[in-house]
Chain A
Amino acid sequence: MVIDVTSYEVVITSDRTMMSNHHGKEFLGFLATGPAVGLPEKLWMWLAAPKIKVDGEGRPIEAPYGLRKIEAKLIDAGFRAAVIDPDHIHKHLDGMKVLMVGHHDFFAYGPPSNEWWLITGEEPVNRLSFMRFMRSETVRKAKAKGVKVIAGGPAAWQWLWELDFWRECGIDVVVDGEAERVIVDLVRKALDGEELPNYVFVGPADTPSIDEIPVIKAASVNGLIEVMRGCPRGCKFCSVTLRPLRFIPLDKIEKEILVNIKSGITNAILHSEDVLLYGGDGIKPRPEAVIKLHEMVRKHVKGSIAWSHASLASIKYAEDNFKLISRLASEYLLTEGQNFLGVEVGIETGSPRLAEIIMPAKSAPYPASMWPEVVEDSFRIMHENTIIPAATLIIGLPGENSYDVVKTAELIDKLRPYRSIIVPMFFVPMGVLKNRDWFKKQYLTSDHIDLMIRIVNHTLYWAEDIMNKFYLREPYLTPLRFLLKLFIQYVKWRLSRLVPVIEATTHR
C-alpha cells in the first residue's frame, strides 16, 4: 500500500525517550534517565516513555516543547518543516533535506542520568535509545543521500565529548543555546548547499527577543508551555541564568494553551525557572502578575496545572508576605480536577557557607546565611498546601568540603516531615562553572554516601505515600502503579545490600 504523505524538507525529531508523554505523567519521564534497573529494557522503556499517538504522516499528537518551537519558527519562515515521530521518519526519506535532532540529554551526561550511570555502572536508557535511533537504517539512509544533520537543544554541548559518534552519524552542525535567531538562516544555508559551520554557541547577545519567539503550531508534551525564559538569580552552576530574563506575554501563553486544548490536552505545565517570578520585581514575586497568569490558565485548563520549577525563596517570600501560595492553591490550583500540584525545586546544598559562594542570590531576598531556614520554611508551606516538590541537590559542587556535606545531611533530616521527592545529583559543569571538572566516582567520600542514603530513605518513604494518596490514581494506570511499587521494593532491597559494598570502596 502506498501511503500518500506530505513531503517535508525539514524533519525535526528525537528518540523515543523524548518523544513520549510518559503516560501523561511528566515525572515518569525521569525513569528514562536511568538504566533499566531490575526490569527488562523494553518494559522499562514502556514505563518511562511509551509510544505516542501519531497522524498518518507520523506527526506526533504531542511533541517536546523545544522541538515545537523550532518547528514553528521554520514554518513561520516558509519552510516545509514538521516534527516527526522517530518510528515514522522513513515516510519522509524522499523529500527530506535537513534532519534536526534535539534532546535534553543525548548521551546521559546531564543530571540525573550521569549519576544513575555512575552508581549502577550501566548506561541509562536515554543514551541507549538515542544512539540506537541515530544508528537506525533510516538515519543512515538519510545521511547517505546527503541529508544535512543538525543537532541542538539543552544537551548540545555533550557532542563535544562524543566525537567518534559525531563522525559516525555525520553530524553537520551542533547548535548550543536558544536557536530562534539563528535557525532559519542555518536551515536556509543547509538547503542551499552552503558550507556549514561545525558548532554554533548562541551567546546572550543573540538570544531571541519576545517577538522572535514563535507560538507553537501543535501540541506540546503534557501541555507544557513556557511563561518565562532566563533567571535573575545568577547561580554559578546553572546555564539558564546566563540568558536575559524575558516574560512571555499572557496573550502568547493563552494562544499556546489553546493550541494544546485543540489537540485534546487538558492539562498544563507552566514552564519557567521560577513560576512565582512571572512579572516579578527582580527577585521578589508580584502577586498581581502571578494571579493574572493563573486566572487565565485556569479559565481554559480543566485538568491539572503544574509548575515546572519554582524557587524556594520565592515560595517563602510569596506566602509570608502575601499568602500567595495558599491563595493560588485554593482558588486556582487545587480545584475539582486536581488534588495536588507538582513542581521541581532546587535545594542544591544545605550549607550556608557554600550557598554564599556558589548561589548567593538563590535565597534572595533572604540572606544566603538563612538558606537552610528558607528551604525548611518553603517545604512546610508546600506541604501545608498539598504542593509536592521534586527537589534536586548537588553533590560535589566546586569548593564543597565535609562541613558542607554534613550541613546538607542535617537539612535532609529536618525535611523528613514534609512530603517530597529529593534527588541527589552529581555536579555537572554548566553555567559559569562549565569549564570545571566533573564530579567523579573516586571523589565520593563516606560523608557523601551517608548523605545519599538519607536522601534515598527520605524519597522512598514519601514515594509510597505519594503513590498511595496522589499519583497514578486513574484506574487505567493500575498496572503502572503496580510496577512502580514493585520497583520501590526492589530499590529498598538493593540498597540494603549495596550500602556495605559502597562504603567499603569509598574513602574518608
Chain B
Amino acid sequence: MLDIELKSHHMVIVLDSDLDGLEMVLRNMAELSIKNGFRRFVIHVISTYGNPYYLEKLRYLLQSITSYTVVVRYEGSSSSDLLKLINKLPSDSSIFIRRDSPLIDALKERGLNIYLW
C-alpha cells in the first residue's frame, strides 16, 4: 500500500456492468470530504471485465474527479475476492454495487456502508 493510501477513505466498486452509480460515488466523495475532510480516496475494483479493461467502465468517473487524489486498484472478479478485500479494509469503507449483482449476497449481514444502484 502506498503511503498516500494510508490516510485515504476506501471505496469498493463492484463493476459488472456500466457504472450507472457514478453520481452516487461522486456524491459520497463530496460528503466525506466535507464531513471528514478526506482529500484522498482509494477505489478498489472487483470486476469481471478484468485488468486493465475494467478501467474503461471507470473512465468517466476518473475524468470527473479533479479535486481529490485517487488511487485505483484491481482486486479480482469473484465473490471470494470481494470477501477477502472487505475483510482487510476499514469498516467504514463505502461499497458500491449494482442492486441485482450476483455478488450482493456475499455482503449481506455485514453491517457495511453499502450503496446500491
Using a CB–CB distance below 8 Å, which chain A residues touch chain B?
Answer: 157, 160-161, 163, 166-167, 171, 177, 181-182, 185-186, 189, 194-195, 197-206, 242, 429, 431-432, 434-435
B64 to chain A, nearest CB (A): 4
The answer to whether A199 and B72 touch across the interface, beta carbons within 8 angstroms, is yes
- Chain-A contact segment, one of B54-62, B90-98, B104-112: B54-62
Instruction: Give A93 to B6 CA distance when docked, in angstroms.
Output: 33
Given A203-B67, A206-B40, 14 more A-B residue pairs with CB atoms under 8 Å apart are A160-B62, A160-B63, A167-B53, A177-B69, A181-B4, A182-B2, A197-B73, A199-B71, A200-B2, A200-B4, A200-B70, A201-B65, A206-B69, A242-B67
Using a CB–CB distance below 8 Å, which chain B residues touch chain A?
Answer: 1-5, 39-40, 42, 51-53, 55-56, 59-60, 62-74
Identify which of B4, B40, B53, B68 contacts A163 (C-beta below 8 A): B53
Chain A contacts for B66, CB-based, 8 A: 203, 242, 431-432, 434
Instruction: Give A200 to B70 CA distance when docked, in angstroms.
Output: 6
Instruction: Give A195 to B39 CA distance when docked, in angstroms.
Output: 23
Identify which of A167, A171, A429 contacts B63 (C-beta below 8 A): A429
B82 to chain A, nearest CB (A): 17
Instruction: Give A160 to B53 CA distance when docked, in angstroms.
Output: 9
The answer to whether A160 and B70 touch across the interface, beta carbons within 8 angstroms, is no
The answer to whether B52 and A201 touch across the interface, beta carbons within 8 angstroms, is no
The answer to whether A205 and B74 touch across the interface, beta carbons within 8 angstroms, is no
Given A157-B63, A198-B51, A206-B40: A185 and B72 within 8 A (CB)? no
Instruction: Give A161 to B60 CA distance when docked, in angstroms.
Output: 11
Closest to A239 in B: B66
Closest to A207 in B: B69
The answer to whether B2 and A185 touch across the interface, beta carbons within 8 angstroms, is yes
The answer to whether B64 and A201 touch across the interface, beta carbons within 8 angstroms, is no
Chain A contacts for B4, CB-based, 8 A: 181-182, 185, 200, 206
Instruction: Give A201 to B56 CA distance when docked, in angstroms.
Output: 16
Chain B contacts for A203, CB-based, 8 A: 39-40, 65-70
Chain A contacts for B68, CB-based, 8 A: 201, 203, 205
The answer to whether B69 and A197 touch across the interface, beta carbons within 8 angstroms, is no
Q: Which 10 A-B pairs have the closest CB atoms?
A: A205-B39, A203-B69, A199-B72, A435-B64, A201-B70, A203-B68, A435-B63, A197-B73, A206-B69, A197-B71
Chain A contacts for B56, CB-based, 8 A: 160, 163
Given A185-B4, A197-B2: A160 and B55 within 8 A (CB)? yes
Closest to B71 in A: A197
Closest to B22 in A: A435
Closest to B37 in A: A205
Identify which of B3, B40, B53 contacts A185 (C-beta below 8 A): B3
Closest to A157 in B: B63
A110 to chain B, nearest CB (A): 14
B7 to chain A, nearest CB (A): 10
B56 to chain A, nearest CB (A): 6
Instruction: Give A177 to B66 CA distance when docked, in angstroms.
Output: 10
Closest to A185 in B: B3
Instruction: Give A179 to B70 CA distance when docked, in angstroms.
Output: 13
Given A205-B39, A435-B60: A198 and B55 within 8 A (CB)? yes
B104 to chain A, nearest CB (A): 25
Chain A contacts for B72, CB-based, 8 A: 197-200
Instruction: Give A274 to B44 CA distance when docked, in angstroms.
Output: 39
Chain B contacts for A189, CB-based, 8 A: 2
Chain B contacts for A161, CB-based, 8 A: 59
Chain B contacts for A200, CB-based, 8 A: 2, 4, 69-72
* 22 A–B pairs (Cβ distance < 8 Å), ordered by A: A161-B59, A163-B53, A163-B55, A163-B56, A166-B52, A166-B55, A177-B69, A185-B2, A195-B73, A198-B73, A200-B70, A201-B69, A201-B71, A203-B39, A203-B65, A203-B69, A203-B70, A204-B67, A205-B69, A206-B69, A434-B64, A435-B63
Instruction: Give A88 to B8 CA distance when docked, in angstroms.
Output: 40
Closest to A434 in B: B63
B26 to chain A, nearest CB (A): 10
Instruction: Give A157 to B58 CA distance when docked, in angstroms.
Output: 12
Of B3, B39, B60, most A-chain CB atoms within 10 Å: B3
Instruction: Give A462 to B11 CA distance when docked, in angstroms.
Output: 55
